[in-house]
Amino acid sequence: MNGSLKGTVIRDGARVGSGREERSRLTREALADVDACRVIDHQAVKAWVDSLSTDTPLPVPP
């Protein structure tokens, strides 16, 4: 493997690893929110999303 290709592979691998770490961190944060009951009702979110294509969209759920 030439030096340029090797550098690209290493750089891309680091980027993927960084993405995994970020996803893992966001997942841990989301699970902590669920544990602390900081969630939004699914039906409220669905109603809001469905309203976005109407003339009178609902406000973002609290």
Residue type for 2, please? N
Q: Is residue 45 part of a domain?
A: yes
**Distance (Å, rounded) from C-alpha 51 to C-alpha 46?**
8
Nearest residue to 58 (alpha-carbon basis) of 48, 50, 45: 48
What's this model's pTM, rounded to 2 decimal places?
0.54
Q: Is residue 36 part of a domain?
A: yes
Q: Is residue 59 part of a domain?
A: no
Task: Express each pLDDT in 7-59 by its tens digit.
Answer: 666 676 667 667 888 999 999 999 999 999 999 999 999 999 999 999 999 99
Q: Which domain holds residue 43?
A: 3-51
- The tally of domains found in the chain comes to 1
Q: Is residue 9 part of a domain?
A: yes
